[in-house]
A = this chain, B = another copy of it.
Protein backbone atom coordinates (compact mmCIF):
# COMPACT_ATOMS: atom_id res chain seq x y z
CA UNK A 1 0.00 0.00 0.00
CA UNK A 2 1.28 3.41 -0.92
CA UNK A 3 1.01 5.97 1.85
CA UNK A 4 -0.26 9.33 0.78
CA UNK A 5 1.07 12.18 2.88
CA UNK A 6 4.34 12.99 4.54
CA UNK A 7 2.62 12.53 7.92
CA UNK A 8 1.51 9.02 6.91
CA UNK A 9 4.94 7.77 5.83
CA UNK A 10 6.73 9.77 8.53
CA UNK A 11 10.14 11.36 8.49
CA UNK A 12 12.02 8.05 8.36
CA UNK A 13 9.82 6.55 5.69
CA UNK A 14 10.25 9.66 3.57
CA UNK A 15 14.00 9.78 4.12
CA UNK A 16 14.29 6.11 3.12
CA UNK A 17 12.34 6.68 -0.09
CA UNK A 18 14.35 9.73 -1.08
CA UNK A 19 17.67 8.07 -0.24
CA UNK A 20 16.65 5.09 -2.39
CA UNK A 21 15.87 7.44 -5.29
CA UNK A 22 19.25 9.16 -4.96
CA UNK A 23 21.12 5.86 -4.74
CA UNK A 24 19.24 4.31 -7.66
CA UNK A 25 20.27 7.31 -9.77
CA UNK A 26 23.88 6.65 -8.78
CA UNK A 27 24.12 10.05 -7.09
CA UNK A 28 24.75 8.78 -3.57
CA UNK A 29 27.68 6.56 -4.47
CA UNK A 30 31.27 7.54 -3.82
CA UNK A 31 32.89 9.34 -6.73
CA UNK A 32 36.48 8.15 -6.50
CA UNK A 33 37.49 10.03 -9.65
CA UNK A 34 36.48 13.30 -8.00
CA UNK A 35 39.11 15.78 -6.82
CA UNK A 36 37.37 15.37 -3.45
CA UNK A 37 36.42 11.66 -3.14
CA UNK A 38 33.23 11.09 -1.14
CA UNK A 39 33.53 8.93 1.98
CA UNK A 40 30.14 9.41 3.65
CA UNK A 41 26.92 10.46 1.89
CA UNK A 42 23.31 10.58 3.09
CA UNK A 43 22.60 8.98 6.46
CA UNK A 44 25.06 10.34 9.03
CA UNK A 45 25.28 13.62 10.93
CA UNK A 46 27.27 15.11 8.05
CA UNK A 47 28.69 14.21 4.66
CA UNK A 48 32.45 13.56 4.50
CA UNK A 49 34.87 13.86 1.61
CA UNK A 50 38.61 13.77 1.24
CA UNK A 51 40.12 17.14 0.45
CA UNK A 52 43.86 16.97 -0.07
CA UNK A 53 45.27 15.42 3.08
CA UNK A 54 42.25 16.47 5.18
CA UNK A 55 38.74 15.08 5.60
CA UNK A 56 36.10 17.72 5.14
CA UNK A 57 32.59 17.47 6.62
CA UNK A 58 29.45 19.34 5.61
CA UNK A 59 26.09 19.45 7.35
CA UNK A 60 22.93 21.56 7.37
CA UNK A 61 20.26 22.23 9.98
CA UNK A 62 17.16 24.42 10.05
CA UNK A 63 14.87 26.06 12.60
CA UNK A 64 11.33 27.04 11.59
CA UNK A 65 9.20 29.38 13.66
CA UNK A 66 6.22 27.64 15.24
CA UNK A 67 7.88 24.25 14.70
CA UNK A 68 11.33 24.40 16.30
CA UNK A 69 10.75 27.50 18.40
CA UNK A 70 8.19 30.09 19.38
CA UNK A 71 8.73 33.74 20.22
CA UNK A 72 7.37 33.02 23.69
CA UNK A 73 10.07 30.55 24.72
CA UNK A 74 13.02 31.52 22.51
CA UNK A 75 14.19 35.13 22.08
CA UNK A 76 15.61 35.87 18.62
CA UNK A 77 19.21 35.91 19.84
CA UNK A 78 18.73 32.40 21.15
CA UNK A 79 17.26 31.28 17.82
CA UNK A 80 20.53 32.35 16.19
CA UNK A 81 22.62 30.66 18.86
CA UNK A 82 20.58 27.45 18.71
CA UNK A 83 20.55 26.96 14.96
CA UNK A 84 24.32 27.43 14.90
CA UNK A 85 24.77 24.96 17.76
CA UNK A 86 22.62 22.36 15.99
CA UNK A 87 25.10 22.50 13.11
CA UNK A 88 28.21 22.67 15.29
CA UNK A 89 26.96 19.62 17.16
CA UNK A 90 26.60 17.67 13.91
CA UNK A 91 30.19 18.58 13.11
CA UNK A 92 31.28 17.47 16.61
CA UNK A 93 29.41 14.18 16.15
CA UNK A 94 31.60 13.49 13.11
CA UNK A 95 34.78 14.08 15.09
CA UNK A 96 35.41 17.36 13.32
CA UNK A 97 35.81 21.03 14.06
CA UNK A 98 33.84 23.81 12.32
CA UNK A 99 35.22 26.24 9.74
CA UNK A 100 32.72 28.02 7.49
CA UNK A 101 28.98 28.67 7.78
CA UNK A 102 26.50 29.80 5.13
CA UNK A 103 23.30 31.29 6.56
CA UNK A 104 19.89 31.33 4.86
CA UNK A 105 17.20 33.58 6.34
CA UNK A 106 13.56 33.20 5.34
CA UNK A 107 11.84 36.41 6.44
CA UNK A 108 8.51 38.12 6.12
CA UNK A 109 8.92 41.67 4.78
CA UNK A 110 7.22 42.87 7.96
CA UNK A 111 9.93 41.40 10.23
CA UNK A 112 11.53 44.12 12.37
CA UNK A 113 15.15 44.59 11.38
CA UNK A 114 16.09 44.51 15.06
CA UNK A 115 14.83 40.91 15.26
CA UNK A 116 16.97 39.86 12.30
CA UNK A 117 19.97 41.58 13.85
CA UNK A 118 19.26 39.73 17.10
CA UNK A 119 19.29 36.39 15.27
CA UNK A 120 22.66 37.33 13.76
CA UNK A 121 23.92 38.53 17.14
CA UNK A 122 23.18 35.08 18.58
CA UNK A 123 24.88 33.36 15.65
CA UNK A 124 27.89 35.65 15.93
CA UNK A 125 28.27 35.02 19.68
CA UNK A 126 28.21 31.31 18.98
CA UNK A 127 30.63 31.55 16.04
CA UNK A 128 33.12 33.57 18.10
CA UNK A 129 32.98 31.04 20.89
CA UNK A 130 33.51 28.11 18.54
CA UNK A 131 35.88 29.63 15.96
CA UNK A 132 33.46 29.53 13.04
CA UNK A 133 33.36 32.04 10.17
CA UNK A 134 30.18 33.23 8.45
CA UNK A 135 31.13 33.32 4.77
CA UNK A 136 27.88 33.74 2.88
CA UNK A 137 24.26 32.80 2.54
CA UNK A 138 20.95 33.92 1.18
CA UNK A 139 18.05 36.13 2.31
CA UNK A 140 14.64 35.22 0.94
CA UNK A 141 11.10 36.42 1.48
CA UNK A 142 8.95 33.82 3.22
CA UNK A 143 5.57 33.87 4.97
CA UNK A 144 7.15 31.89 7.84
CA UNK A 145 10.45 32.74 9.49
CA UNK A 146 13.17 30.12 9.14
CA UNK A 147 16.94 29.99 9.53
CA UNK A 148 19.07 27.40 7.76
CA UNK A 149 22.79 27.01 8.30
CA UNK A 150 25.10 24.93 6.14
CA UNK A 151 28.40 24.28 7.89
CA UNK A 152 31.71 22.99 6.56
CA UNK A 153 34.34 21.62 8.90
CA UNK A 154 37.46 19.49 9.02
CA UNK A 155 37.85 16.18 10.83
CA UNK A 156 40.45 15.74 13.59
CA UNK A 157 41.30 12.31 12.24
CA UNK A 158 39.19 9.31 11.30
CA UNK A 159 35.55 10.49 11.26
CA UNK A 160 33.07 9.29 13.90
CA UNK A 161 30.24 7.40 12.19
CA UNK A 162 26.84 6.27 13.41
CA UNK A 163 27.29 2.95 11.71
CA UNK A 164 30.45 1.71 13.43
CA UNK A 165 29.04 0.37 16.71
CA UNK A 166 30.10 -3.26 17.22
CA UNK A 167 28.25 -5.84 19.32
CA UNK A 168 29.81 -5.72 22.78
CA UNK A 169 30.89 -2.09 22.48
CA UNK A 170 30.13 -0.03 25.54
CA UNK A 171 28.02 3.10 25.14
CA UNK A 172 28.68 6.37 26.92
CA UNK A 173 27.36 9.92 26.95
CA UNK A 174 29.57 12.98 27.45
CA UNK A 175 27.42 14.61 30.16
CA UNK A 176 24.11 14.85 32.00
CA UNK A 177 20.85 15.09 30.13
CA UNK A 178 17.41 16.61 30.35
CA UNK A 179 18.21 20.27 30.96
CA UNK A 180 16.88 21.45 27.61
CA UNK A 181 13.50 19.81 27.96
CA UNK A 182 13.44 20.83 31.63
CA UNK A 183 13.91 24.46 30.61
CA UNK A 184 11.03 24.26 28.16
CA UNK A 185 8.77 22.63 30.76
CA UNK A 186 9.66 25.32 33.29
CA UNK A 187 8.80 28.05 30.81
CA UNK A 188 5.54 26.46 29.72
CA UNK A 189 4.30 24.93 32.97
CA UNK A 190 6.32 26.12 35.97
CA UNK A 191 7.12 29.83 35.65
CA UNK A 192 7.14 29.95 39.48
CA UNK A 193 10.41 27.97 39.65
CA UNK A 194 13.05 30.67 39.85
CA UNK A 195 16.71 30.02 40.54
CA UNK A 196 16.94 26.41 39.43
CA UNK A 197 14.49 27.21 36.66
CA UNK A 198 16.90 29.80 35.33
CA UNK A 199 19.59 27.15 34.99
CA UNK A 200 17.16 24.97 33.06
CA UNK A 201 16.00 27.83 30.84
CA UNK A 202 19.65 28.52 30.09
CA UNK A 203 20.15 24.87 29.11
CA UNK A 204 17.21 25.18 26.72
CA UNK A 205 18.19 28.51 25.22
CA UNK A 206 21.97 28.22 25.15
CA UNK A 207 22.89 24.59 24.53
CA UNK A 208 26.56 23.83 23.81
CA UNK A 209 28.17 21.72 21.13
CA UNK A 210 30.72 19.21 22.49
CA UNK A 211 33.59 20.03 20.18
CA UNK A 212 36.37 19.52 22.74
CA UNK A 213 34.92 16.16 23.75
CA UNK A 214 34.77 15.14 20.09
CA UNK A 215 38.47 15.77 19.72
CA UNK A 216 39.24 13.61 22.76
CA UNK A 217 37.12 10.79 21.33
CA UNK A 218 39.03 10.90 18.03
CA UNK A 219 42.38 11.03 19.82
CA UNK A 220 41.51 7.96 21.87
CA UNK A 221 40.45 5.93 18.84
CA UNK A 222 36.66 6.04 19.17
CA UNK A 223 34.99 5.36 15.78
CA UNK A 224 31.23 5.57 16.48
CA UNK A 225 29.24 8.57 17.75
CA UNK A 226 26.05 10.58 17.37
CA UNK A 227 24.85 13.76 19.03
CA UNK A 228 21.74 13.88 21.22
CA UNK A 229 19.61 16.20 19.13
CA UNK A 230 16.26 14.38 19.25
CA UNK A 231 16.55 12.58 22.60
CA UNK A 232 18.93 9.99 24.05
CA UNK A 233 16.79 6.94 23.29
CA UNK A 234 15.86 8.19 19.84
CA UNK A 235 19.45 8.96 18.89
CA UNK A 236 20.86 5.74 20.34
CA UNK A 237 18.18 3.99 18.30
CA UNK A 238 19.41 5.70 15.13
CA UNK A 239 22.99 4.79 15.89
CA UNK A 240 22.04 1.17 16.61
CA UNK A 241 19.93 1.00 13.45
CA UNK A 242 22.79 2.33 11.31
CA UNK A 243 25.06 -0.29 12.89
CA UNK A 244 22.58 -3.17 12.45
CA UNK A 245 22.38 -3.71 16.20
CA UNK A 246 20.12 -3.29 19.22
CA UNK A 247 21.17 -1.42 22.34
CA UNK A 248 20.59 -1.79 26.07
CA UNK A 249 20.78 1.19 28.40
CA UNK A 250 20.88 1.03 32.20
CA UNK A 251 18.50 3.63 33.61
CA UNK A 252 20.49 4.04 36.82
CA UNK A 253 23.60 4.99 34.88
CA UNK A 254 22.00 7.68 32.71
CA UNK A 255 23.30 11.00 34.08
CA UNK A 256 20.30 13.22 34.80
CA UNK A 257 20.71 17.00 35.03
CA UNK A 258 20.76 17.95 38.73
CA UNK A 259 18.47 20.97 38.29
CA UNK A 260 16.04 18.78 36.37
CA UNK A 261 15.97 16.22 39.18
CA UNK A 262 15.40 18.86 41.82
CA UNK A 263 12.37 20.27 40.01
CA UNK A 264 10.84 17.26 38.32
CA UNK A 265 11.89 14.42 40.69
CA UNK A 266 10.05 11.28 39.48
CA UNK A 267 9.58 12.61 35.97
CA UNK A 268 13.25 13.55 35.58
CA UNK A 269 14.52 10.24 34.16
CA UNK A 270 11.85 10.09 31.48
CA UNK A 271 12.60 13.69 30.53
CA UNK A 272 16.34 12.96 30.42
CA UNK A 273 15.78 9.94 28.15
CA UNK A 274 13.70 11.92 25.66
CA UNK A 275 14.98 15.51 25.85
CA UNK A 276 16.22 16.79 22.49
CA UNK A 277 18.70 19.61 21.75
CA UNK A 278 21.01 18.31 24.49
CA UNK A 279 23.96 18.04 22.13
CA UNK A 280 25.97 15.76 24.34
CA UNK A 281 27.67 13.06 22.31
CA UNK A 282 26.81 9.39 22.63
CA UNK A 283 29.68 7.17 21.59
CA UNK A 284 30.54 3.50 21.42
CA UNK A 285 33.87 1.83 22.03
CA UNK A 286 35.41 -1.43 23.22
CA UNK A 287 36.15 -1.49 26.99
CA UNK A 288 39.83 -0.47 26.80
CA UNK A 289 39.12 2.55 24.60
CA UNK A 290 36.10 3.44 26.71
CA UNK A 291 38.22 3.46 29.84
CA UNK A 292 40.69 5.91 28.32
CA UNK A 293 37.91 8.30 27.22
CA UNK A 294 36.24 8.24 30.65
CA UNK A 295 39.56 9.09 32.27
CA UNK A 296 39.85 12.20 30.10
CA UNK A 297 36.19 13.30 30.09
CA UNK A 298 35.10 13.89 33.70
CA UNK A 299 31.44 14.45 32.79
CA UNK A 300 31.13 11.33 30.66
CA UNK A 301 29.28 8.25 31.90
CA UNK A 302 29.06 4.71 30.60
CA UNK A 303 25.33 4.03 30.09
CA UNK A 304 24.95 0.72 28.27
CA UNK A 305 26.11 -1.41 25.38
CA UNK A 306 25.43 -2.40 21.80
CA UNK A 307 24.26 -5.97 21.29
CA UNK A 308 22.79 -8.28 18.69
CA UNK A 309 19.06 -7.84 18.25
CA UNK A 310 16.41 -6.07 16.23
CA UNK A 311 18.32 -3.22 14.56
CA UNK A 312 17.46 0.07 16.20
CA UNK A 313 15.70 -1.43 19.20
CA UNK A 314 16.69 0.28 22.44
CA UNK A 315 15.80 -1.26 25.78
CA UNK A 316 16.20 0.88 28.89
CA UNK A 317 16.46 -1.29 32.01
CA UNK A 318 15.80 -0.28 35.60
CA UNK A 319 16.66 -2.30 38.73
CA UNK A 320 16.60 -6.10 38.27
CA UNK A 321 16.40 -5.76 34.50
CA UNK A 322 12.86 -4.36 34.45
CA UNK A 323 12.19 -2.43 31.22
CA UNK A 324 11.43 1.21 32.01
CA UNK A 325 11.45 2.64 28.50
CA UNK A 326 11.83 1.36 24.99
CA UNK A 327 11.92 2.73 21.50
CA UNK A 328 11.59 1.09 18.17
CA UNK A 329 12.75 4.14 16.26
CA UNK A 330 13.69 7.75 16.85
CA UNK A 331 11.74 10.94 17.09
CA UNK A 332 9.72 11.65 13.97
CA UNK A 333 9.22 15.31 13.13
CA UNK A 334 6.04 14.56 11.23
CA UNK A 335 4.56 12.15 13.77
CA UNK A 336 5.74 13.56 17.08
CA UNK A 337 3.32 11.58 19.21
CA UNK A 338 3.62 8.17 17.62
CA UNK A 339 7.02 6.93 18.75
Footprint of B on A, CB under 8 Å?
A: 2-9, 11, 14-15, 17-18, 21-22, 25-29, 31, 34-36, 38, 40-44, 46-47, 49, 51-54, 56, 58-62, 64, 66-68, 99-100, 102, 104, 106-113, 116-117, 120-121, 124, 127-128, 132-144, 146, 148, 150, 152, 154, 333-335
The smallest beta-carbon distance between A104 and chain B, in angstroms, is: 5
A–B complex contacts, Cβ < 8 Å, 7 sampled: A5-B110, A14-B113, A26-B128, A43-B136, A47-B136, A66-B143, A138-B148
Check if A35 sits within 8 Å of B133, measured CB to CB.
Answer: no
Q: Write out the residue numbers on chain B whose beta carbons fall within 8 Å of the beta carbon of A47.
A: 100, 102, 135-136
Q: Write out the residue numbers on chain B whose beta carbons fall within 8 Å of the beta carbon of A49.
A: 99-100, 135
Check if B27 sits within 8 Å of A124, measured CB to CB.
Answer: yes
Q: Write out the residue numbers on chain B whose beta carbons fall within 8 Å of the beta carbon of A35.
A: 54, 99, 154
Check if A113 sits within 8 Å of B25, measured CB to CB.
Answer: no
Q: Bound state CA distance, A146 and B41, in angstroms? A: 22
Shortest Cβ distance from A6 into B: residue: B111
Q: Write out the residue numbers on chain B whose beta carbons fall within 8 Å of the beta carbon of A28.
A: 133-135
The smallest beta-carbon distance between A295 and chain B, in angstroms, is: 29
Shortest Cβ distance from A54 into B: residue: B35
Q: Write out the residue numbers on chain B whose beta carbons fall within 8 Å of the beta carbon of A14.
A: 113, 116, 139
Check if A137 sits within 8 Å of B42, measured CB to CB.
Answer: yes
Q: Write out the residue numbers on chain B whose beta carbons fall within 8 Å of the beta carbon of A3.
A: 113
Q: Write out the residue numbers on chain B whose beta carbons fall within 8 Å of the beta carbon of A51.
A: 36, 51-52, 54, 56
Choose among B4, B26, B36, B111 the residue that contacts A154 (Cβ–Cβ < 8 A): B36
The smallest beta-carbon distance between A338 and chain B, in angstroms, is: 12
The smallest beta-carbon distance between A303 and chain B, in angstroms, is: 27
Check if A139 sits within 8 Å of B21, measured CB to CB.
Answer: no
Q: Which of A5, A64, A106, A150 has the most CB of B within 10 A?
A: A150
Q: Bound state CA distance, A9 and B109, in angstroms? A: 10
CB-CB under 8 A for A68 and B140, given A35-B54, A133-B31: yes
Shortest Cβ distance from A152 into B: residue: B58
Q: Bound state CA distance, A35 and B60, in angstroms? A: 21
Q: Bound state CA distance, A73 and B69, in angstroms? A: 32
